[in-house]
Structure 1
Amino acid sequence: MSSLSSSSASASAPPPHVVEDCLGVVQLLSDGTVTRPTRSFLSDPPVHDVRRDLPVQWKDVVYDEAHRLRLRMYRPTTSIGLAGGGEKKLPVLVYFHGGGFCIASFEHPSFHVVALRIAHDLPAIVLSADYRLAPEHRLPAAHHDAETVLSWLHRHAVAGSAADAWLAESADFGRVFVWGDSSGGNISHHIAVRYGSGGLDINPVRIAGCVLLGPYFGGEERMASEACSPADVLMSLALFDQMWRLALPAGATRDHPAANPFGPESAPLDDVAFPPVLVLNAEHDLLRDRTADYVARLKAMGKPVELVEFDGQEHAFFVYEPWGAAADGLIRVVRQFVHGGAPDTAAALSGSPELHSTNFFFRHF
């Protein structure tokens, strides 16, 4: 009797329904399963030119066999901009893409173009890495994957002639920079904290600096720029809140340490030896006040952090317009940060009226 009742109940159970639909790219169903349509707006090529003529090589490499995670390595075939010519090895820039921890990949044309431009224009060896996405793999999975990328780089740094040929020939393991936009900026902060607190032992790899472009942080208390943000735009507060629901551990709030570096359960950062941090903010980013607050708090702790603001720009502007005037200014600022030299604000800002600097200077590393 009980088996018949059970079978009958099973037969009458409604099919799973969509609980969360994030941009049509990822859907969370009522039974906990996740679907990712094979085609979405992210499948379409961006409107900008991929610039296949740039003298940059790239190849895909597996950095984590257990989770089948890959990165795309870029190497410029010229030494444009390098003092000392082609004999000098290049800094390594580890890049983490944005997407609210839920969407995107290094393979998407927009992130491919960004990595191409960084590799060519800085110049640098660029490692553009994928990481596990939510909600299938909720935070801190992405943070752990980022640490795995740095550990993978460490293995090559100590491997000598057995290292990847591009790294062995061209990489300066003493000048490694971590760059992330949006959720990738959140990851870049996480790496800075782990490295600065001694939790990421990767010697002889040295993290010489971190770049955070519009870092994706959150909090239960709204900042002014969040509270007054328009609802009829793609990058809306509702979208960001939805992505946090999908990315954070089930039941967690936006004050979870993975979202809010200064939340009630977050570890204090006072004693963390941060590497130099360059934070890039956009005037029309709804997270701009949260980003400015992040910089102000770190400065109050005496951390080596600088803020550069881009007037007239929106969240992730470099990804959407990697060949625009603001992107040109961004590249100049980051090039100065990475390659050092005498502080020259005027040169970095030259030709970029849309760029505004707050407490702007660069240090020798």
Structure 2
Amino acid sequence: MITRTSPIPKQQRAVVRSGSGSTATTTIQTIDVDLPGPGQILVRITWTGLCGSDKALLHDEWAGFGVAMTPQAKGVAGHEGVGVVVAVGEGMENRWNIGDRAGIKWIAKTCGECEFCLSGVDEVNCIRQVNSGFTAPGTFQEYCVADGRYTSKIPDGVSDEDAGPIMCGGVTAYVACKRANVKAGQWIVLPGAGGGLGHLAIQYARAMGMRVIAIDGGDDKRELCQKLGAEVFIDYLSTPDIAAEVRKITTHGAHGVIVTAATKTVYATAPTYLRPNGTLVAVGLPADPSILAGAPPMLLSLKRLNVVGTVTGTLKDVEEALDFTARKIVHPVLVKGKLEDLNSWVEKLEKGQLAGRAVLQVAKI
């Protein structure tokens, strides 16, 4: 039995991928609205974030790694969607009410039974997970069926448009700060600090008491990073030796570095920013498989460096990341658009023309 508002339309607008590879585009199409089955809810999407992962999936940038949008996604990407619950499937009546606000993430569903789920802290590696916009239709549509157990509740004090980017970009930056193992009062370096992930990492790092060195290019990025709390800004466009500048500021190098800028140059130089026992966190995902995260064995061994990776976060991590926004500590810097203009926003993302995070309005409530 389904509990629902009335009426729910039979069809909806959705942005659907056309073509494949780097020339793929999207078009607004009319598709059916699916109703939730047992254990599911139906969310009317109000806002959805635009993530670099969406661009990568739409353009098959990760096909060389065996990661490409599957037929089950029906050409609908998006994994930072927030909206209102309009129908509740059987078994979810005690968890969700009509009108509750819900957030849909990259991990749409976990099995709850595999070794990683049962560990209690590592369900992001669930071997049977379902992913929005990858193995299930994503949030670039007006109505999205979601798993009732794994969908996040949005707390009071967090707007839909602010909550969207926290579903992926925010929680990824938050977990990266935790993985960096940098204590309060210690230095962390953030290459790409003015971007969608980087500007959130500045805020989470500051909230944890870290001293932030932001790296990016141009006066606009400088202004943004300093406004968000970066103690030092290094402009890579005018700084010939960034590692030397980091050492000048920190004496022995930074305690951690989070790489959100997915370029060969940054991944090659980032380990040189670190002091002994420092940690590099790989977050940015280059399409080029020849780009490696790490350092020559001599440098790794002599400095006893740590190289770790992270991707998104657990259900509990999302709850914690949202709490920073509810308490007015972390606030995504947003540029807003319409779902109909997705192609132009993807192009801006491709050219690095977005400062902060892009969110697209889907429906009005």
TM-score between the two structures when normalised by the length of structure 1:
0.26
Larger Rg, first or second structure (1 or 2): 1
Higher strand share: 2
TM-score between the two structures when normalised by the length of structure 2:
0.26
